[in-house]
Amino acid sequence: MISTVLVANRGEIACRIFRTCRELGVRTVAVHSDADENALHTRVADAAVRLPGAASAETYLRGETIVKAAVAAGADAVHPGYGFLSENADFARAVVDAGLTWIGPPPEAIEAMASKTRAKELMGVAPLKQVTEADLPVLVKAAAGGGGRGMRVVRRLADLDAELAAARAEAASAFGDGEVFTEPYVERGRHVEVQILADTHGTVWALGTRDCSLQRRHQKVIEEAPAPGLTEALTQDLYEQAVRAARAVNYVGAGTVEFLVAGGTAHFLEMNTRLQVEHPVTEAVFGVDLVALQLRIAEGHALETDPPRARGHAVEARIYAEDPANGWAPQTGRLHRLAVPDGVRLDTGYTDGDDIGVHYDPMIAKAVAHAPTRAEAVRRLAGALERAAIHGPVTNRDLLVRSLRHEEFTAGRMDTGFYDRHLPGLTEPAPDPLAPLAAALADACRPARSRFGGWRNLPSQPQVKRYAMAGEEHEVRYHHTRTGLTADGVRVVHADAGLVVLEADGVRRRYEVARYGDRVHVGATALTALPRFPDPTAQHAPGSLLAPMPGTVVRVAEGLTEGTAVQAGQPLLWLEAMKMEHKITAPVTGKLAALQVAPGRQVEMGTLLAVVESN
């Protein structure tokens, strides 16, 4: 029997595994980087071991250090979670060699499926050896990759060599392996996967399908189970291929076999030899705890001959600290509040007051809704997200709500190109026009000492406040009267520092208001309180390139020096932030007047990176 589990991971998945361990009476050990010293997963574990450093390469990717931590903490088992070392065969061997129980598949199975090229060969699928014009478009992928790293879509043969080089560089940086390959890119395909579970007694379950077609940068955003609209014959084919993949490598534990479905045919993509981020939708539909089953399998218990029956439908949305309208740029800062309505499962590695840093993935939480039908589950999740309180950095919450309500998604006609087609419409600002007034009235009810100066004009004069909302400035006016606060054209039913009730055109609406410094959250709308007088010094020279987010400069374009001629749109340097690379390009055609950074430099948001003078 396993008594103490060390989770070789962080954040949401570590917290989720700890939850099951507590329910089973198993003690828990966390590992943490210096950046995660006060993270939620560190706080909720029974014991925690420091991994010196902040970057993943010197902390969560140091297998030998983690094994030593497990031994030192008295753990008798290691669960890898997902990401980091979860699909590293050498780490699995090191755990076993240390006399610990590895809660995962055998190292040989991990090794067999670790390279996407070798996995495809095992399943009888050959990657493209020589790309021709007739093969376009193609997808360049990292053989050892995942999460969209080292992946490029190539539509012109002239771009292939440059994209191959870029993919190799990114793959080598992310995975320590620069091998890449090409395969046909299907424009309107669906990403469908099968959850498998196998014990040491020869039983393999195909535990339903999942659809993960809504992706940004080849990373999943919304997932659901079962995958809608599949024929019985196609579903059976998916199950058979998934079980065949598992048996081919003598698989043990939880894993996922991924496919691209197009034209009624399933094309094998890869096998992920670990638990998936989206596993909760399968748990909801089948009424199981996959982590508990992982532990039971690791202890040698047998699965039932047949898996449980599926019930209903489940949908999961990943809440990211990112700005979808600004190139999906990751965001950082204090998460002041995170709360979703009852009836929706929330898996998270954060709680109120935690900081979202620059070192790791920007996912804040996963929200999961389960209902008897797909339509009900989708409606429940969209409504819960719309009413959720997510106060802090910019998130993708509005995008998630609109995606769930988009006619293509509700009809089950989505594919992996969904955001390529619909992103502009899904990110079009649609703030509540009464939100600035609600913010101003709530501010007027705060204690005078907490407001700017606590000043008042004469009662006959309106109070004026300015807010930035959805990229525009809004000025609002209201009056203090003997009967309370008033505003032209709107009836103020109630106003205090946390709640404002307004009636306009006969319709009454409630606005919950929370303020953190100059950031104001009015329901689902975020505003910034503007100063009475703008700062005239907050300016930069024309052509200045500022860091769009905190991160690390990983590469500078080859041969780029001050005075170099550049073309508009030409890549100049690359920033890495939260597991993604972001390309910084020349804003105009001209020459590079200044280059302020070099590879390895860590920068804050707004740092001057370079200056390009136009011709």
Question: Other C-beta atoms within 10 Å of 78: how many?
Answer: 29
**Cβ pair 39, 110 in contact under 8 A:** no
Rounded (5°) CA angle 606-389-581: 35
Q: Which of 436, 468, 463, 438 is nearest to 452 (CA)?
A: 463
**Cβ pair 330, 549 in contact under 8 A:** yes
**Cβ pair 529, 465 in contact under 8 A:** yes
CA distance 51 to 66: 8
- What are the tokens at 500? 């404002």
CA distance 578 to 321: 10
User: What CA–CA distances, in Å, run from 21 to 11, 30, 44, 72, 77?
Assistant: 16, 12, 12, 19, 12
Q: Which of 26, 79, 81, 139 is nearest to 361 (CA)?
A: 81
Where residue 57 falls (left for φ over 0; alpha for ψ -120 to 50; beta otherwise) is alpha
Q: Which of 288, 249, 285 is nearest to 270 (CA)?
A: 249
Contacts of 57 (CB under 8 A, 6+ apart): none
CA distance 329 to 395: 10
Contacts of 110 (CB under 8 A, 6+ apart): 87, 88, 89, 92, 104, 273
Rounded (5°) CA angle 571-572-574: 85
What's the alpha-carbon Rg for the chain, to the nearest Å?
A: 26
Question: Other C-beta atoms within 10 Å of 468: how many?
Answer: 16
Q: Which of 148, 187, 152 is nearest to 166 (CA)?
A: 152
DSSP letter, residue 452: S
Residues with catalytic function: 274
Task: Strand 180-184: give its sheet, edge to edge.
Answer: 152-154, 138-142, 180-184
E strand segments, 303-358: 313-320, 322-323, 329-330, 333-335, 337-339, 345-348, 354-356
